[in-house]
Structure 1
């Protein structure tokens, strides 16, 4: 019985490790911390980090709607990915380990438009201030209209989001009468309800799988135990007759 309990515990640990493959403390670091870039203007460095330190055994992955590739068309050195200014690297990036663990995703856009929106690529901390600017390729800030989820936020040289909250999470872009509109990018807030809900669901799935496996193994152990008892009861020794018919009797 102790061996069966140990087996159940070991199986539970294995299920937890396998099922939690998508939950990781490793994150993707982006330098500079921006989502939008002009084509041919600058290079971008991506790396896989844990608590600010680069980690080994992780690879930067990228997709632009097609197959997943390592670091796109950029140079890969360990877990560091350098996106060259001459390459087209628009797409979604994340870190992935050899065992299949994945970090959160980051979207990067390379634009040929007249303006881009300077917006953080990484999730911002709640309570911090975020400044959004509409810029030309020369680096000059352009007075523009700022939008969030299709709603006009105002016309100004820059848009400041003070004391960021989860309600500020959404799709932002800017537009200028002279230079047109920028690509759209999503501003993420750390510990947002969507991210928290996703992690809760992952842990619930892990727990449910563990419970199902445990119940199945318990039922198997119980059925084997009852089967052994039946076999033992059927193998009771035969009673020896009090009178042996083969015994000779002498008068």
Structure 2
């Protein structure tokens, strides 16, 4: 009995827990770090199309908020004026399904030394390239030191990561003339796997006495014999015609039989 109750409890927890959906959060511009007061557009998409019935939500360590309480709804977009040091966003539907969460960092320093690291907010695919830059509040990119999981490179105007792998995941930040960007984590995801159908089966070639075998080629399939059945559009009229003809023959036979019978009866009366 206790085991049965435990299994029921586990099932209830699994059914009530939020599940991750194929719907994802779109972020524009696709930057994980922004300056305070920057506007960011967020939307829920499914394979590039707007996901109906999904809402952009936010958490800053407290209660969950819906877009409309913290941003402006413009069509399918939620436009947010970022101000808190760190804000987390995701998409959610009425049944509790959720997309992956995206955290954005805000550079609140208003001095000329303030910098941000231009790093993607959304996960990048393995095998792709990413360019990291250090940008000031006035929009200029500057030479900087790039700190990658505890090691620094530079100073240089940008840092390029080619053919990204899972090993490139980790924390990144940058510094320039005393200014330091927030620290952000680069996320890497494998592209979706495409399943191809298996190749057609070829029979093994006949054994030969030589060491070289000709390349395998599947013989062409023989053409299918022409159908001897009449087209389906002619079957119904033909069957109907045959039925009508058979009925006509039966009626004529019955009439002739009756006439012969009546004729025979009349002849017998005359002879009497």
Taking structure 2 as the reference length, the TM-score comes to 0.59
Q: How does 1:52-201 map to 2 (within 5 A)?
A: 52-71=48-67, 73-77=70-74, 79-84=76-81, 87-88=83-84, 90-113=86-109, 114-176=114-176, 178-191=177-190
**Structure 1 residue 74 displacement after superposition:** 1.2
Note the C-alpha offset of 1:138. 1.1
Q: Work out the CA distance in 1 between the residues paired with 2:18 and 2:74.
A: 24
Which has the higher relative contact order, 1 or 2, with Cα contacts under 8 A spaced 6 or more apart?
1
Work out the CA distance in 1 between the residues paired with 2:153 and 2:86.
26
Specify every segment of 5 or more residues in structure 2 that has no aligned partner in the other structure, as ranges: 1-7, 192-272
- State the Cα deviation string for residues 130-160 of structure 1 (Å, max 9, x = none): 0000000111111111112222233211110
CA distance in 2, matches of 1:65, 1:150: 27
* CA apart distance, 1:161: 0.5
Contact 1:115–1:181 (8 Å) recurs in 2: yes
Contact persistence 2:85–2:108 (CA under 8 A): no
Aligned to 2:41: 45
CA distance in 1, matches of 2:39, 2:95: 29
- The answer on whether the counterparts of 2:20 and 2:100 sit within 8 Å (CA) in structure 1 is no
Partner Cα separation in structure 2 for residue 78 and residue 101 of structure 1: 22
Structure 1 unaligned segments of length 5 or more: list them. 1-10, 193-251
Structure with higher Rg: it is 2
Matched, 1:31 2:28: yes
Q: Deviations over 1:161-193 (max 9, x none)?
A: 0111111011110011x241100111111139x
Runs of 4+ in structure 1 deviating by more than 4 angstroms, as ranges, are none
1:23 Cα shift? 2.3
Report the alpha carbon displacement of residue 111 of structure 1 after superposing the two structures with TM.
1.1
Partners of 1:95 and 1:103 within 8 A in 2: yes
Q: Aligned residue for 2:207?
A: none
- RMSD between superposed Cα atoms in Å: 2.6
User: Partners of 1:122 and 1:161 in 2: how far apart?
Assistant: 16
8 Å CA contact 1:59–1:78 kept in 2: the answer is no
* Equivalent in the alignment of 1:212: none
TM-score under structure 1 normalisation? 0.64
Question: Please, which moves more after superposition, 165-174 or 107-116?
Answer: 107-116
